[in-house]
Structure 1
Amino acid sequence: MSVGKRVREARKQAGFSQQDLADKIGVKQPTLSELERGISSSSTHLITIAKVLGVSPDWLQTGKASSSYSEITDIKSSYTLGSFDTWDSKTPLSEDEVEIPFYKEVELSAGNGSIVQRESSGFKLRFAKSTLRRYNIQPDMAACVVVSGNSMEPVLPDQATVGIDTANTKIKDGDMYAIDHSGMLRVKVLYRLPGGGIRLRSFNRDEYPDEDCSTEQASEVKVLGRVFWYSVLR
């Protein structure tokens, strides 16, 4: 079953017409129709579609996951990296656990903005070593930070927590990355443009339209790492 057919199946099970779903995710009905018919293979809206329809983004993308969106975005579960158990700072690490630093405040340095200075909150989040290995994430190259602002709503609301793989800075179209953009720390969906340019995309496209950076402007964008996980408190 294709991505489009899974979207159509989930939409019908949720009782939405194409127009209903298009309105909720902020696109025109023909755009959604093209996705469902396989004319367009864009995955830009899949996470938002998953949230609206209450299904897993992984299932829409690959057909392999079955968790609901609410389960995935809960603070005790992860987007792609399994589940959390209740613990505190006194709970010993298991053999398969590793702690990743959690930076409550991330401040960019003054000046040219090319260096990110991170102030550790002292908090850490625990992940399974085996799961990180499965996704080729090195624990010592991962960090969790807080997202501020509403540009990535509804997927990443203000104060959502994201996990960043700082070893993965090569842009894959349609993936989320943390970037240093001329001294501003931002989380955006990135696309490569012909000639070496970069497109920065927000999920909240009504308020934050796409930003296309020319080849020259792209030199001001430093990719800090790919977002591999996120968690949202509701």
Structure 2
Amino acid sequence: MKKTMGKRIADRRKDLGLSQGDVAKHVGINRVSVSNWETDGKNGTSPKGANLIALAEVLNCTPEWLLTGDETKIVNAESNAEWHAGFELWDGDTPLRDDEVALPFYREVELAAGNGSTFVQENGGFKLRFAKSTLKKSRVEPEHAACVTVSGNSMAPVLRHGTTVGVDTSKKTIVDGEMYAIDHDGMLRVKMLYRTPGGGIRIKSYNNDEFPDEFIQPEDMGCVSIIGWVFWWSVLNVWNN
């Protein structure tokens, strides 16, 4: 029998030798809330948004694994972050280091007619810097990579509004459950894709309650083109206090 989300949280916490208090302190909640999560939403609670991200951090796993139980997405083989005391300041005139590449940064633009159609254009020449080693680990060639910004909350809590994602435009073959940037009838979208019998696809959002699965039949596949595979994402939290 497949484990519930609460069971995954509890088992992972115990495997790491953490108490409910340890988890609560890291996430910034009380111990009772952690206990409720582990009993699968007792009193109507479950980790969402920033709490889900913080929970995944302290449990050294991914939000996707907590949500779905997909063992292929439980945790990265090694840490992908390093703590620094501050930021290194640079601007467009700062030369790239030998171990860096600059990827173009695109954005979605709504047409003035207001008909919901969109197009994609380069975001004023802005670029994002990546370490060459980061791209190499994901088997991404710099000439095939670009960054775009996610709009809306259909992919929350993993990709919130304003999240920046990296897209490898050379990888267009669908691997079930992976995220892709797609052009769907002129709209730039970032979604999980699944193949369906006969050559169609299922388009899935993380926020499945508000955004149910969409099914594209084989005869309608002309309205969807795969731009590329999402290999990286990052979001900047906003302090609301």
So what's the TM-score if we normalise by structure 2?
Answer: 0.67
C-alpha offsets along residues 95-143 of structure 1, whole Å, 9 cap, x if unaligned?
A: 11000011234568x9xxxx96423321111111122123211111111
Task: Give RMSD over aligned pairs.
Answer: 3.7
Structure 2 CA distance for aligned equivalents of residues 174 and 53 of structure 1: 19
Structure 1 residues 156-196: Cα deviation after superposition (integer angstroms, max 9, x where no partner)? 11111111110111111111100011111111000111111
Identity fraction in percent: 49
Q: Does residue 46 of structure 2 align to residue 24 of structure 1?
A: yes
Compute the displacement of 1:233 (Å).
1.1
Residues 24 and 170 of structure 1, relative CA distance in 2, 3 Å threshold? same
- Distance in 2 (CA, whole Å) between partners of 1:122 and 1:64 is 32
1:6 offset after TM fit, Å?
6.5
Letter in 1 for 2:185: S
Report which of the two structures shows the higher radius of gyration computed on alpha carbons: 2
Tell whether the 8 Å contact from 2:108 to 2:120 is kept in structure 1 after alignment.
no
Distance 1:53 1:209, change over 3 A: same
Residues 1:164 and 2:186 are matched in the alignment: no
Report the residue type matching 1:143 in the other structure: A
CA distance in 1, matches of 2:109, 2:186: 12
Name the aligned partner's letter for residue 41 of structure 2: D
Task: From the superposition, tell whether residues 86 and 173 of structure 1 become closer, same or farther in structure 2 (CA, over 3 Å).
Answer: farther
1:224 aligns with 2:227: yes
Q: Which amino acid aligns with 1:135?
A: S
Q: Which residue of the partner structure matches residue 155 of structure 1?
A: 158
Moved more, 210-219 or 136-145: 210-219
Amino acid at match of 2:11: E
Letter of the 1:207 partner, please give it: E
| 1:177-216 Cα shifts (integer Å, max 9, x gaps) | 0001111111100011111110100011111001111111
SS at match of 2:41: helix
Q: CA deviation at 1:7?
A: 5.1
Q: Pick which of 150-159 and 172-181 moved more.
A: 150-159
Is residue 142 from structure 1 mapped to residue 163 from structure 2 by the alignment?
A: no
**1:157-196, aligned counterparts within 5 Å?**
157-196=160-199
SS at match of 2:124: coil
TM-score norm. by structure 1 comes to 0.69
2:214 is matched with: 211
List runs of 5+ in structure 2 lacking aligned partners.
Answer: 24-33, 66-70
Over 3 Å counting, the alpha-carbon distance change for 1:147 and 1:171 in structure 2 is same
Partner of 1:91: 94
Q: Which has the higher contact order (CA 8 A, sep 6+)?
A: 1
2:145 is the alignment partner of 1:133: no
Q: Which residue of 1 aligns with 2:29?
A: none
- 1: CA distance, partners of 2:196 / 2:10: 30
| Letter aligned with residue 24 of structure 1 | S
